[in-house]
Amino acid sequence: MSSQVPPDLKYAKSHEWVRVDGDHATVGISDHAQHELTDVVFVELPVVGRSVKAGEACAVVESVKTASDIYSPVSGTVVAVNDALAGDPSLANTAPYDGGWFYQVKLTQPAELAALLSPADYSKQISA
């Protein structure tokens, strides 16, 4: 397993990551999370236009081992979903920080980003 934690991301304690670009944020699951899940075989993504709140379950990922909710690390309106991931769920395993992203939101509460973990703090959490 790679212990690489990209430095440009923020992390939720529940292992989702956020990459912010202006007032938009892309959300996915960390390399650590995909490794714990093992082979991802199905994802259920939120509907474009849905409002999500930080901490709310908004997607589902199923692996050969288990099914898990994906919690939104930030509040906003879903503006895009990763159709490529829906068609090839293994992208969550092979490219968790790139092609395996889940959805994008237009942020409605940007101040929530301050509550997320830095890459260094997330690395400490997963190595504990």
Q: What is the structure's pLDDT at 4?
A: 72
**Which residue from 73, 98, 102, 58 is spatially nearest to 13, judged by alpha carbons?**
73
Sorted by where each begins, the domain ranges of the chain are 10-108
Any alpha helices (H) in 22-118, and if so which ranges?
31-37, 83-87, 91-94
CA distances from 126 to 33, 49, 92, 95 (A): 9, 33, 18, 19
**Which residue from 11, 7, 6, 9 is spatially nearest to 115, judged by alpha carbons?**
11
Both tokens of 101, joined, read: 């992203």
Q: Using alpha carbons only, what angle is made at residue 33 by residues 31 and 37, rounded to the nearest 5 degrees?
A: 115
Instruction: Reduce the DSSP state of residue 20 to 3 states and report it.
Output: strand
Q: What is the structure's pLDDT at 6?
A: 86
Q: b vs e for 88-116, b when ≥16 Cβ sit within 10 Å of the residue's Cβ?
A: bbebbbebbbeebbbbbbebeeeebeeeb
This model's pTM is above 0.75: yes
Q: For every one of its 128 residues, what pLDDT tens digit does the chain have, with 9 covering 90 and above?
A: 345 788 899 999 999 999 999 999 999 999 999 999 999 999 999 999 999 999 999 999 999 989 999 999 999 999 999 999 999 999 999 999 999 999 999 999 999 999 999 999 999 999 98
- Give me the residue label for tokens 């409605």: 108
Q: What is the structure's pLDDT at 24?
A: 97
Q: What is the structure's pLDDT at 10?
A: 97
- Which CATH architecture is the domain 10-108 placed in? Beta Barrel (2.40)
Q: What is the structure's pLDDT at 1?
A: 37
